[in-house]
Amino acid sequence: MDHVISGVAKFQEEVYPNKKATFQKLANGQNPEVLFITCSDSRIDPNLVTQTGPGELFICRNAGNVVPPHSNQTGGMTASIEFAVAALGVSHIVICGHTDCGAMKGALKPEALEGLPHVKEWLGHCRCATEVVKERRGKVDHENLEEVTQENVVQQLQHLRTHPAVAAKIATGQVKLHGWVYNIGSGDVLCYDESKKTFERMSEAYAEQKLTSK
């Protein structure tokens, strides 16, 4: 904890003064372009991976980068998505999974989560991913972790489309969806290509094409 406290001191003494104008502008409001939904895993730093600064990403994090399907029961993710889309007017939504995801390991072996009832229930939102991979392969276990991780991103994108605020903006071309998987070990980011139903490594040209398409 000492390094966390000393980090705050360094921010106040060195970082903030150099970006004072930016922070003072942000003090009066935010205007992010991107809603970034990712895992709570401590190894994922959205601003570092995307090289963005304060005010550029509206970030939502939870175990497994889950988006529960829309329902009349209000939850933190539902409210945050609605606020980002309907109030802040984000124009892009990214769902970003990652390699070696503990949530995906849990989804693959739910019986091991008996001592974590809330985690087990939450990861029920990932069951569709494991079932899809099981249907494809005839089985699903730890060897399928990479495929389940990718399929979970695809299925959470489907869940996202059930949210009325998102559906309305997609229908009018005001919001674009992106599915990513971040490789912690290599630094690569794989992007979902819906037309091909595959994940492809992000390159500058690929990213530009995705942003300008549709």
Annotated binding site for Zn(2+): 39, 41, 98, 101
Strand 189-193 versus strand 198-201 pairing type = antiparallel
Compute the distance between CA of residue 97 and CA of residue 105 in angstroms, rounded to an integer: 13
Within 10 Å of residue 11's Cβ, how many Cβ atoms?
12
Residues forming the annotated binding site? 39, 41, 98, 101
DSSP β-ladder status, 176-182 and 92-98: parallel
Residue that the structure tokens 């693959």 belong to: 108
Neighbouring-strand partners of residue 59: 36
3-state helix, strand, coil in the chain (%, to 5): 50, 15, 35
The C-alpha atoms of residue 198 and residue 169 are separated, in whole angstroms, by 25
Compute the half-sphere exposure of residue 157: CA atoms within 13 Å on the CB side of its CA. Answer: 25
